[in-house]
A = this chain, B = another copy of it.
Amino acid sequence: MQQIEFIKEIDKIKYIERRTKLINSNRRENDAEHSWHLALMVMVLAEHADKPLDILKVLKMVLIHDIVEIDAGDIFIFDTTKTHTNTAAERIAASRIFGLLPKRQATEFMAIWEEFEARETAESKFARSMDRLEPLLQNVSNKGGTWNEFDIEYKQVLEKQSVHQEISASIDKYAKELIEQSVHAGILRKD
């Protein structure tokens, strides 16, 4: 079975550490845990999307979206020195890792990843919304978390969390309320 090499290779995603820490925790999350959590969020929050979604496609998207980081590493979302979409390193990674699969599957995985990165379809917008909502919940639970650790302020958070409005009015409303509450609670700086 040609897929076995791919299955073994992607085990490495369990070592890719994100900046954000688990809920009420001081332990950093890894990409496997993160991707699993996004998949569960898709399952329970998809009903809040403003447009009908192909749930199977959104699930596949969040499950594979960070596999490229096995080679390319995680880029911190507030790092302004780095570009955040589809870097050359990520494309090379996608082609190497997805390339371990039988050709038809490799093509499908590449297409799903490209669709996620392009953020044009409802599915990719919802996947991106989940990708941003999870660290928001984590940072709030950790009394500011990476916001304080890396001196991030209100406007930056608001900008990164603006993705929800493209796909879900209710998730957008929830995220905005959480941000305002965080300022009020003194865990997010607003100059």
Assess A45 versus B1: contact at CB under 8 Å? Given A8-B23, A22-B11, A30-B33.
yes
Minimum CB–CB distance from A63 to chain B (whole Å) comes to 5
B56 and A10 within 8 A (CB): no
Which of A7, A30, A174 has the most chain B CB atoms inside 10 A of its CB? A7
Q: Is the interface of A mostly helix, strand, loop or mixed?
A: helix
**Oligomer: number of copies:** 2
Q: Which residues of B contact A4 (CB under 8 A)?
A: 137, 174
Is A39 positioned at the interface, with any CB of B under 8 Å from its CB?
yes
Is A181 positioned at the interface, with any CB of B under 8 Å from its CB?
no
Q: Which residues of B contact A11 (CB under 8 A)?
A: 22-23, 37
Minimum CB–CB distance from A38 to chain B (whole Å) comes to 10
Minimum CB–CB distance from A98 to chain B (whole Å) comes to 10
A8 and B141 within 8 A (CB): yes
Q: Which residues of B contact A158 (CB under 8 A)?
A: none
Q: A44's closest neighbor in chain B, by CB?
A: B3
B14 and A39 within 8 A (CB): no
Q: Mark A1-40, 1 if CB is under 8 A from B, else 0.
A: 1011011101101100000001100000110110111011
Q: Which residues of B contact A101 (CB under 8 A)?
A: 44
Q: Which residues of B contact A41 (CB under 8 A)?
A: 7
Could you list 21 examples of A-B contacts with CB < 8 Å? Answer: A1-B170, A1-B171, A3-B45, A4-B137, A6-B44, A7-B45, A7-B137, A11-B37, A13-B36, A14-B29, A14-B33, A30-B33, A32-B37, A33-B36, A36-B63, A39-B59, A40-B64, A43-B60, A43-B63, A43-B64, A44-B105
